[in-house]
Amino acid sequence: MSSNLHVNKIQEASKRTIVTAISLLIVLLLSGTSGYIYLEDLKPIDAFFMTVITISTVGFREIQPLSDMGKIFTSGLIFFSLGSLAWVGSTMARFLFDGELKEYLKTYRVDKKIVKLKDHAIIIGYGRNGEQAAMELREYGINFVVIDKRENVINRVREDSRLLYIRGDATHEDILKQAGVDKARALIATTPDDADNVFVTLTARSLNPGLRIVSRASEIESIMKLKRAGATNVIMPERIGGQRMAKLVTQPDVVEFIEHILLQKTKDVSLEEISCTNMADQFVNKSIGKLKDADTSGVNIIGIKISGAKYIFNPDPGLTLSRGDQLFVIGSPLQIKNFRHLLESNN
């Protein structure tokens, strides 16, 4: 099956089975009804009744004695309907008992859920990196869709009823559209093929200029290509792995401390970024010191990104805030919630 259509083989076969069976029954009913109206001058309801009792072979008596042409027509209708209904019956039985109906309904429900998504993430590829990304997004309560063209991978994804998935080639525009790329907040390209990641990035960026795109790169030369294609961030897992191993030799406690904050499951303490887009008027163009004076939440502001460009760590209290800034804070979930409320409250 062409991946451009992004229709699962089972789903496509199931649709064909249902459509063919229903179409065949409709053709039989219309042909029989029309034939009896024309040949026997029956009323439409009587012609329909004659068609039903004929193709179902229930043995009821005909509405009125048939003409010779009517008898020939009825005989032909019986022979044709016997073969047709036998095929429909055997096909529907296989459809039901081989699990095709279950797979079709499951895929149909998944597609319906995907259509309703917004502000979600799209994960391209469900290998080790894609699966880990999915686990992290789920931990933070972010909805996501997995796209993968490998049948064995999609079969594995289907085992988890919580996962939304599309089987297809993400380099094709219609697959990204089906995943709701125009309504998504982020796209994560995890495939090991840099060329595919570049193409996915180019396509996704053209469909959603504001999309955050995080792409994997296997070669150093691909980093700039992905950036030029529109990737917001480019990650080289091999480089990160090597750096982490070296840091565990030179600064093991620092690495473990940071990982404890970022990767812990209990979320007793979090390092989070808070946008100043909705910052209260009383703090706009005012110093961080003024914000700290009003803050009783207990969070620590450890950094700031000024208007989407420059990072400043441990910012000076005299630094002026604007609505284009991002604050990086550390604290408990409750502390961060209270701080966010203070930052955005005009009371």
In the numeric block, the tokens 């931990």 are attached to 139
- Nearest CA among 335, 317, 334, 315 for reference residue 326: 315
- Shared domain for 148 and 224, answered yes or no, is yes
User: Do residues 144 and 166 touch, judged by C-beta distance below 8 A?
Assistant: no
User: Do residues 180 and 118 touch, judged by C-beta distance below 8 A?
Assistant: yes
Phi/psi of residue 65, nearest 5 degrees: -55, 140
Among 240, 255, 289, the domain boundary falls at 240
User: Do residues 291 and 321 touch, judged by C-beta distance below 8 A?
Assistant: yes
- Shared domain for 210 and 149, answered yes or no, is yes
Q: Is residue 251 part of a domain?
A: no
- Shared domain for 174 and 212, answered yes or no, is yes
First vs last C-alpha separation in the chain: 59
Q: What is the domain count for the chain?
A: 3
- Shared domain for 304 and 202, answered yes or no, is no
- Shared domain for 219 and 300, answered yes or no, is no
- Shared domain for 233 and 140, answered yes or no, is yes
Q: Is residue 163 part of a domain?
A: yes
- Count helices and strands in the chain by DSSP H and E runs: 13, 10
Residue ranges making up the domain that contains 228 = 118-240
- Shared domain for 138 and 94, answered yes or no, is no
Q: Is residue 253 part of a domain?
A: no
Q: Is residue 295 part of a domain?
A: yes
The predicted structure's pLDDT at residue 98: 60
Enter the pTM of the model.
Answer: 0.64
Q: Is residue 113 part of a domain?
A: no
User: Do residues 164 and 110 touch, judged by C-beta distance below 8 A?
Assistant: yes
Indicate which CATH number applies to the domain containing 36.
Answer: 1.10.287.70
- Shared domain for 124 and 234, answered yes or no, is yes
pLDDT per residue rounded down to tens, the chain (347 residues): 333 344 445 556 566 767 877 888 888 889 888 988 988 888 889 888 888 888 877 767 777 888 888 888 888 888 888 877 777 777 777 666 665 566 666 777 888 889 899 999 999 999 889 999 999 898 888 999 999 988 889 888 888 888 899 988 999 999 999 999 999 999 999 999 999 999 999 999 999 999 999 999 988 899 999 999 999 999 988 888 888 788 888 888 887 887 777 766 556 788 888 989 899 999 999 999 999 988 888 899 999 998 767 889 999 989 999 988 999 999 888 899 999 999 988 76
The predicted structure's pLDDT at residue 3: 39
User: Do residues 144 and 134 touch, judged by C-beta distance below 8 A?
Assistant: yes
Q: Is residue 248 part of a domain?
A: no
Q: Is residue 261 part of a domain?
A: no
- Shared domain for 95 and 122, answered yes or no, is no
Please tell me the distance from the alpha carbon of residue 26 to that of residue 29, in angstroms, as a whole number: 5
The predicted structure's pLDDT at residue 6: 41
Please report how the helices 221-229 and 194-207 are oriented relative to each other, as an axis angle in degrees rounded to 10.
20
- Shared domain for 158 and 207, answered yes or no, is yes
Among 240, 274, 302, the domain boundary falls at 240
Q: Is residue 154 part of a domain?
A: yes
DSSP for residue 278: T
What amino acid is encoded at 81 in this protein? Answer: S
- Shared domain for 137 and 225, answered yes or no, is yes
Indicate which CATH number applies to the domain containing 270.
Answer: 3.30.70.1450
Indicate which CATH number applies to the domain containing 162.
Answer: 3.40.50.720
Exposure b/e, 1-36, CB count within 10 A at least 16 = b: eeeeebbbebbebbeebbeebeebeeebeebbbebb
- Shared domain for 330 and 278, answered yes or no, is yes
**Which three-class secondary structure state does DSSP give residue 285?**
coil
- Nearest CA among 100, 124, 76 for reference residue 21: 100
Q: Which residues contact 275 (CB under 8 A, 6 or more apart)?
A: 326
